[in-house]
A and B are shown apart, each in its own frame.
Chain A
Amino acid sequence: MLKGRQSWQFDTNPVIVSAATVGGPFEGKGPLAEDFDVIFDDIWLGQDSFEKAEQKLLENACNIAMDKAGLKPEDITFFLSGDLMNQIISSSFTARRLGIPYMGLFGACSSSMEGLALACKLLDNSGARYVLAATSSHNAASEKQYRYPTEYGAQKPPTAQWTVTGAGAVIIGKDGPGPVITGTTIGRVVDMGVSDPFNMGAAMAPAAVDTIENHFNDFGIDSDYYDLIATGDLGFTGYTIAKELFKKKGIKIAENVYTDCGILIYGQNPVVFSGGSGCGCSATVTYGHLLNRMKKGEIRRMLIVATGALLSPMSYQQKETIPCIAHAVSFEMS
């Protein structure tokens, strides 16, 4: 049911039946390595291109999620997926192999929560029995598409982020171990005039804050409601800006409640500059690390706000600013 201006409250409480995450070699060296189902030690995954490797990541995450739930592709009503490649080839080519009725999404790195929100809405309206929602990204494939191929050796400023090589998938159904998805807030596009593709965190922070503010207003709650609020991939730069924006808007969020998946995934590793990013960032951290913490009872309610920079290489070469979006999904352990 519609709640407030731009949110859905799910009355039937769609449940996470299973979740799966896979990562690349670099993620396997990070602080969250234990939370991945599979870590691949070869960035090529045995394929002859980085794009094919990304498809392999996504396919693996989907298959592991189905295995964990004891479901086959025939049991899944719909597959919703998005990624960063041109024409979302990673998602569509994975759908070709899975054979599940499919809808492709593009919300850049916000695709993870966009897919999950839509999956829950489909289920809430009795429009599906099981929905598989997934996203993926691959560091080298993204660098090649959005910036420079890594072998070109271009310099990066300290505000740049490191695209996560990984994929996350969840299956949503009516019964399962949980947690349940109670509501979602769909974000609007916010563009504060940042045009530097090496500073996505700063570009996306206002969109995240806008969605969080609207989420609180729509549901009539404040940040105390949640044990944890995590933005998708703002990194250290964007995280700092988001905290300042909260202060400016008078939104109080405790230091130990608010975090960012882009910071969690690699910790303080200076190699990644400002932190992690990409569709795989919020997906792997949420469906791996954070769901595990919920299952352990460390978190009862959490809000994931996946952030996306909706630029294309063409748009920034033509000196356009970067429009950004954020979608919030609320998880609760019943």
Chain B
Amino acid sequence: MEKLIWAFLVGGSICAIGQVMMDVFRMTPAHTMTTLVVAGAVLGGLGLYEPLIEFAGAGATIPISSFGNSLLKGALSEAKRNGIIGVLTGIFEITSAGISAAIIFGFIASLIFKPKG
């Protein structure tokens, strides 16, 4: 139960930061999203994102910042195995399922539905 509350608070805080970026700093949705991804990667690199996931669970894995963390994790683990070229081959290793799913489901949705304007 306690974990649920922390997940809510941490996840909500990340979203609130995104909302402030759009409303106060007038960033576009695309800029807000990429900034959060980069922030997640930086926090992951500093070893701070994994403890956050331990602490808040889905509150840290669901927001887009987790995607940045996953990009970094994939790149680092592949780099350990294959050297510097692994940074390139490993970057989408963990995230490939998410990216492919987004493309495939997006495509299917566009075949079935018609925008209402």
Q: Which residues of A contact B (CB under 8 A)?
A: 43-44, 50, 139-140, 143, 148-152, 154-155, 157, 165, 196
Instruction: Determine whether B115 belongs to the interface, using a CB cutoff of 8 Å to chain A.
Output: yes
Instruction: Determine whether B26 belongs to the interface, using a CB cutoff of 8 Å to chain A.
Output: yes
Contacts A50-B117, A150-B117; A196 near B29 (Cβ below 8 A): no
* List of A residues within 8 angstroms of B114 by Cβ: 44
B23 near A157 with CB under 8 A, answer yes
A149 near B26 with CB under 8 A, answer no
Q: List 22 A-B contacts (CB under 8 A).
A: A43-B116, A43-B117, A44-B114, A44-B117, A50-B117, A139-B117, A140-B115, A140-B117, A143-B117, A148-B29, A149-B115, A150-B115, A150-B116, A150-B117, A151-B115, A152-B29, A154-B29, A155-B22, A155-B29, A157-B23, A165-B117, A196-B26
How far apart are the CA atoms of A80 and B26 in the complex, in Å? 38
* List of B residues within 8 angstroms of A43 by Cβ: 116-117
> Using a Cβ cutoff of 8 Å, how many contacts connect chains A and B?
22
* List of B residues within 8 angstroms of A165 by Cβ: 117
The smallest beta-carbon distance between A202 and chain B, in angstroms, is: 13
* List of B residues within 8 angstroms of A196 by Cβ: 26
The smallest beta-carbon distance between A273 and chain B, in angstroms, is: 14
The smallest beta-carbon distance between A23 and chain B, in angstroms, is: 14
How far apart are the CA atoms of A148 and B22 in the complex, in Å? 15
* List of A residues within 8 angstroms of B116 by Cβ: 43, 150
**Contact mask for chain B residues 24-39; partner A; CB cutoff 8 A; 1 contact, 0 none:** 0010010000000000
The smallest beta-carbon distance between A52 and chain B, in angstroms, is: 13
Interface residues of B in 4-34 (CB under 8 A from A): 22-23, 26, 29
Residue in B closest to A43 when the chains form the complex, CB atoms = B117
**Contact mask for chain B residues 70-104; partner A; CB cutoff 8 A; 1 contact, 0 none:** 00000000000000000000000000000000000
Interface residues of B in 21-73 (CB under 8 A from A): 22-23, 26, 29
How far apart are the CA atoms of A154 and B114 in the complex, in Å? 18
* List of B residues within 8 angstroms of A151 by Cβ: 115
Residue in B closest to A143 when the chains form the complex, CB atoms = B117
How far apart are the CA atoms of A152 and B110 in the complex, in Å? 12
Residue in A closest to B114 when the chains form the complex, CB atoms = A44
* List of A residues within 8 angstroms of B29 by Cβ: 148, 152, 154-155
Residue in A closest to B19 when the chains form the complex, CB atoms = A155
* List of A residues within 8 angstroms of B22 by Cβ: 155
